[in-house]
């Protein structure tokens, strides 16, 4: 089969409900219903049909948009029912024809994005108090079951037609790529021997056995499925702390221009200059140009123009654009411009109202964006220069970088004061990584006391010498050495094997405890990345290639 190539039109992650092809949102007081009704001829790329509610990246882009809108535009919603609009089928999972004709890079990026979206569903349930449930009305296979696994309660029709399954190993010689294995044993705590059987049978498990094995939470007659889902959803919605009568914040389409032969991507607060010859993108984030609103109510009144929300949305869109459409750009260089004082005042507002639903959603959105940066298969450097505003929330970008360079002193003829960084309360737990720790705690894993000591320096401007002494930056060249040292660092990074760098960076970034998310993005993604390239899956007689043809797979039986 022909592979998806970079010659295809770029993917645009911006959408809105009026443009959805595959999902329908309805509301009944505190309960929303998100119905999956995939348009068969609505694939993102030509060459396959999305039968049986199977999905591709385009389906998941809409799901991600719906998830964001539920959280920001509908504070009154305390529970979300995820179900299917097809008669007697829930979801057949990722479209196999799409996977078969896609490049390896496309498959890996697809799995990563779908995982991030399901993590966001779980975060909505756990931290936004907008709990998700799945009402399974028919066969629920592979990625379809992984979608249900992302919810907190699964109710399934009890009939001969409906079962849950993870058939990727026996059918396709790959793994459930959206965290199915991890969620099965870590989240739902399914017994290992039962999970082993479940993941190696094509037919799946249905009825009372599915409940007994903890694969679903409840089975009811088909005639009672909708009623059971609504009853449970209303009970969960009654426990939420989300305000019933608050006005939501509309998420308008992000303003973005792409110019100079696709080498300049510009938003209101974020700009990326792509240098293809050097294999890098220089990403600059502008700090706020004015003081923050006086309080939470004034912040809501600013809507999607509230600076932290606007930056989160723009940076999110840029990262997805670069990951998907600029796969040969292997190094992202982060820079900032603005005033640290203003960034810190925004941080005080964001963290000073823990009970406000809107500010909580903005913090959680920023956390998701920083996590998306962490798990992206790109090298990341931060350049801290005079005029930068790496403070608090924006300092997280430098802490997320694989390496940071901070100019010591000033440049001749430059009236700007020397570069400085500033810690705020936002750096001490507001934006945990996938390992559950802050970036500071992960950085100083061997010296946990240092994090407590650094709390005493929050709000202080740290110049290059102080930042280096505190362990917050990597190198501090002066003006004489800066240009050459930074240039050599960027050039040498670009010269290394991208494969080796991807593996190295993923291994180094997430020290410390292992969580469901770190297993998915570290262990599982690494195995899936390898298995997706093996002949047993994608060779001429590999399972993914011969699926549906009537031919049998021809496996290399050697364990590697």
- What are the structural domains, with CATH classification, of the chain? 17-237 (3.90.226.10), 258-504 (3.90.226.10)
Alpha carbon distance 69, 289 (integer Å): 26
- What are the C-alpha distances in Å from 479 to residues 383, 388, 405, 417, 475? 13, 16, 12, 13, 13
Alpha carbon distance 235, 416 (integer Å): 58
HSE-up of residue 149 (Cα within 13 Å, Cβ side): 32
Cα distance from N-terminal residue to C-terminal residue, the chain? 26
The pTM of this model reads 0.96
Alpha carbon distance 536, 530 (integer Å): 11
pLDDT of residue 2: 40
Residue the block writes with tokens 């220069």: 385
Alpha carbon distance 62, 41 (integer Å): 16
Ordered mean pLDDT values, 10 residues apiece, the chain (560 residues):
58 97 97 98 96 97 98 98 96 94 90 95 97 98 97 97 95 89 96 97 96 98 97 97 95 96 96 96 97 96 98 98 96 98 98 96 98 96 98 98 97 91 98 97 95 96 98 97 97 93 90 92 78 88 88 86
Question: What is residue 23's three-state secondary structure?
Answer: strand
Answer yes or no: are the C-beta atoms of 35 and 84 closer than 8 Å. yes
Angle of CA points 28, 30, 35, to nearest 5°: 55
Alpha carbon distance 420, 436 (integer Å): 28
pLDDT of residue 21: 97
Structure tokens at 259: 């110019």
The secondary structure of 266-327, three-state, reads: ECCCEEEEEECCCCEEEEEEECCCCCCCCCHHHHHHHHHHCHHHHHHHHHHHHHHHHHHHCC
Contacts of 469 (CB under 8 A, 6+ apart): none
Spell out where 438-533 has E strands.
Answer: 461-462
pLDDT of residue 280: 97
């Amino acid at each position: 089969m022909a592979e998806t190539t970079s010659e295809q039109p770029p993917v645009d992650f911006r959408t809105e409900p009026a443009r959805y092809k595959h999902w329908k949102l309805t509301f009944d007081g505190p309960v929303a219903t998100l119905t999956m009704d995939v348009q068969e001829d609505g694939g993102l790329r030509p060459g396959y049909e999305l039968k049986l509610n199977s999905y591709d990246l385009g389906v998941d882009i809409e799901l991600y948009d719906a998830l964001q809108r539920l959280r920001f535009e509908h504070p009154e919603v305390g529970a979300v029912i995820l179900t299917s609009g097809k008669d007697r089928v829930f979801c057949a999972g990722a479209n196999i024809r799409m996977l078969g004709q896609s490049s390896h890079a496309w498959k890996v990026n697809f799995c990563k994005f779908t995982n991030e979206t399901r993590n966001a569903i779980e975060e909505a349930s756990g931290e936004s108090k907008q709990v998700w449930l799945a009402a399974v009305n028919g066969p629920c296979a592979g990625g379809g079951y992984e979608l249900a696994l992302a919810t907190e309660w699964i109710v399934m029709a009890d009939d001969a037609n409906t079962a849950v399954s993870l058939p990727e190993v026996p059918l396709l010689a790959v793994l459930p790529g959206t965290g199915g294995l991890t969620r099965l044993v870590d989240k739902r705590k399914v017994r290992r021997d039962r999970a082993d059987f479940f993941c190696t049978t094509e037919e799946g498990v249905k009825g009372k056995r599915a409940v007994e094995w903890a694969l679903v939470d409840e089975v009811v007659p088909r005639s009672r499925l909708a009623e059971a889902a609504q009853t449970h959803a209303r009970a969960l919605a009654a426990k939420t702390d989300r305000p019933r009568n608050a006005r939501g914040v509309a998420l308008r389409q992000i303003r973005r221009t792409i110019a100079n032969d696709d080498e300049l991507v510009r938003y209101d607060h974020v700009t990326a200059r792509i240098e293809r010859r050097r294999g890098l993108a220089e990403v600059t984030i502008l700090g706020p140009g004015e003081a923050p609103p006086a309080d939470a109510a004034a912040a809501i009144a600013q809507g999607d123009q509230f600076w932290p929300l606007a930056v989160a949305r723009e940076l999110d869109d840029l990262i997805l654009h670069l990951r998907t459409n600029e796969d040969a750009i292997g190094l992202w260089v982060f820079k900032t411009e603005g005033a640290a004082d203003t960034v810190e005042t925004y941080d005080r507002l964001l963290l000073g109202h823990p009970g406000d639903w809107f500010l909580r959603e903005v913090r959680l959105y920023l956390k998701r964006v920083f996590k998306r940066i962490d798990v992206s298969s790109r090298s990341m450097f931060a350049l801290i220069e005079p005029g930068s505003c790496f403070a608090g929330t924006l300092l997280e970008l430098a802490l997320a970088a694989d390496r940071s360079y901070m100019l010591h002193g000033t440049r001749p003829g430059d009236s700007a004061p020397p570069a400085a960084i500033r810690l705020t309360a936002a750096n001490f737990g507001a934006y945990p990584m996938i390992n559950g720790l802050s970036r500071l705690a992960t950085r100083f894993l061997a010296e946990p006391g240092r994090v407590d000591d650094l709390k005493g320096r929050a709000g202080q401007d740290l110049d290059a010498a102080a930042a280096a002494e505190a362990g917050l930056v990597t190198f501090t060249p002066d003006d004489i050495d800066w240009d050459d040292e930074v240039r050599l660092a960027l050039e040498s990074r670009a010269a290394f094997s991208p494969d080796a760098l991807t593996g190295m960076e993923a291994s180094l970034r997430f020290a410390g405890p292992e969580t469901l998310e770190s297993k998915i993005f570290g262990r599982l993604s690494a195995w899936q990345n390898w298995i997706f390239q093996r002949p047993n899956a994608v060779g001429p007689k590999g399972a993914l290639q011969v699926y549906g043809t009537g031919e049998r797979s021809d496996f290399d039986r050697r364990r590697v």
